[in-house]
C-alpha cells in the first residue's frame, strides 16, 4: 500500500518548493523617460544662382562654393549675380541636426538641360539656444560645349533631421 515515509517526503518537498522563491525575492526600480522635440522647419532664404554664362567651344564648370564664391572654367565666361542657396532651420534648443541636400539638380530650358552636383556648408549643425540655425548649399554646374542659350532652372530638396 502507501509508504508513510514517501507521503511525508512528497509533502515536505511540496511545502519547501512553495517557499524557496520567496526567501530569495528582490525588487528593482527603473525610470522611464521621453524627450519630445519640436518639429524641424526648413525655410529657404536664397536660391542657388550660377549667374550669366557664355558657353565656349568646349565644356566647362561653374562652381558656387557653399560660402558663395564663384569659380568659372577658362572655357566659359561668367558674369552676373551669383549666390549659394541659403536655408534657416528651426527646431529644439541646442540639438544637433544632419543636413542632406539632393546629390544633384537638373536645370532645364525647354528640351535642353545641364546638371549640377550639390554640397552643403556642413553635414551637421548644432541649433542655438533658441533652436535656430542656418546653412548654405553650393554646386558645380557642368556646361556643355556650345550649350544652347536659354534660361535654365530646376529644383532640389534639402533634408534636415535630428541626429
Please, which pLDDT band fits residue 9 given cuts at 50, 70 and 90?
very low
- Residue 103 is placed in which grid cell? 546629390
Contact (CB, 8 A) for 153 and 112: no
CA distance 31 to 96: 25
Domains defined for the chain, CATH in brackets: 41-162 (2.60.40)
Q: At residue 68, does pLDDT exceed 90?
A: yes
**Alpha carbon distance 132, 141 (integer Å):** 30
- Owner of C-alpha cell 523617460: 33
What is the tens place of the pLDDT at every residue in 11-65? 444 545 555 556 789 999 999 999 999 999 999 999 999 999 999 999 999 999 9
d(CA 94, CA 79): 40
What pLDDT is recorded for position 20? 53
Phi, psi of 135 (to 5 degrees): -155, 170
Residue 39: predicted pLDDT = 98
Q: Please say whether the dihedral angle defined by the alpha carbons of residues 63, 67, 70 and 73, taken in this order, is positive or negative.
A: negative
Could you give the maximum distance between any two Cα atoms of the chain, in Å? 114
Q: How many CB atoms lie within 10 A of CB 1?
A: 3
Q: What is the pTM of this model?
A: 0.82
Average pLDDT, the chain: 91
Task: Report pLDDT digits (tens) over 104-122.
Answer: 999 999 999 999 999 999 9
Amino acid at each position: 500500500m502507501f509508504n508513510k515515509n514517501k507521503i511525508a517526503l512528497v509533502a515536505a518537498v511540496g511545502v519547501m518548493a512553495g517557499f524557496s522563491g520567496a526567501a530569495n525575492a528582490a525588487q528593482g526600480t527603473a525610470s522611464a523617460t521621453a524627450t519630445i522635440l519640436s518639429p524641424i522647419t526648413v525655410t529657404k532664404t536664397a536660391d542657388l544662382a550660377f549667374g550669366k554664362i557664355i558657353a565656349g567651344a568646349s565644356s566647362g564648370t561653374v562652381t558656387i562654393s557653399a560660402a558663395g564664391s564663384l569659380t568659372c572654367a577658362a572655357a566659359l565666361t561668367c558674369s552676373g549675380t551669383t549666390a549659394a542657396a541659403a536655408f534657416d532651420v528651426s527646431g529644439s534648443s541646442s540639438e544637433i541636426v544632419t543636413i542632406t541636400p539632393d546629390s544633384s539638380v537638373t536645370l532645364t530650358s525647354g528640351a535642353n538641360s545641364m546638371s549640377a552636383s550639390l554640397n552643403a556648408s556642413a553635414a551637421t549643425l548644432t541649433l542655438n539656444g533658441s533652436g535656430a540655425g542656418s546653412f548654405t548649399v553650393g554646386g558645380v554646374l557642368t556646361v556643355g560645349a556650345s550649350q544652347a542659350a536659354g534660361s535654365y532652372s530646376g529644383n532640389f530638396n534639402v533634408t534636415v533631421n535630428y541626429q
